[in-house]
């Protein structure tokens, strides 16, 4: 019997479906902290799938992302209102993502506070020549 690596969080009924189809899933339940981490990975996984989804699959992929976010909010004790307030605060300060503005790179003075921040997060903002 061939084996296929999953190594990922799945929806709650997937194992039942696998067993019903004759498959033998090898799985375990995650700790609370592991579950939170894997929900974040699930959001990333599903978001990447949108890039290759057909028009009739996009809503389904977004639904997967929304479910992972809803479950993560519950694990973290956050309400829809908590997230809405944080979203509104960010939108007031920095705006939403509606205009499609894409920054290729930014130049700042060497002693600017942002230069310190960008260097501290070099994995996200690598310094270029």
Give the phi and the psi of residue 85 in degrees, each rounded to 5.
-65, -45
pLDDT in tens, 48-66: 999 999 999 999 999 999 9
Q: Note the pTM of the prediction, 2 decimals.
A: 0.85
Q: What whole-number percentage of the chain has pLDDT above 70? A: 100
Residue 1 has pLDDT above 90, yes or no: no
Q: What is the DSSP string of the chain?
A: -------S---TTHHHHHHHTT------PPPHHHHHHHHHHHHHHHHHHHTT--TTTHHHHHHHHHHHHHHHHHHHT--HHHHHHHHHHHHHHH--STT----------TTSHHHHHHHHTTTTS----
Tell me the mean pLDDT in the region 91-114. 95
């Amino acid at each position: 019997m061939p084996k296929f690596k999953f190594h990922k969080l799945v929806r709650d009924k997937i194992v039942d479906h696998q067993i019903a189809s004759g498959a033998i899933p090898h799985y375990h339940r995650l700790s609370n902290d592991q579950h939170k981490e894997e929900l974040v990975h699930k959001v990333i996984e599903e978001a990447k799938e949108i890039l290759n989804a057909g028009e009739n699959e996009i809503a389904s992929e977004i639904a997967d992302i929304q479910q992972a976010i809803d479950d993560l909010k519950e694990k973290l004790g956050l309400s829809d209102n908590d997230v809405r307030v944080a979203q509104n605060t960010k939108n007031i300060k920095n705006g939403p993502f509606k205009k499609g503005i894409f920054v290729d790179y930014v130049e700042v003075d060497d002693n600017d506070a942002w230069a310190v921040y960008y260097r501290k997060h070099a994995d996200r903002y690598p310094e270029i020549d």
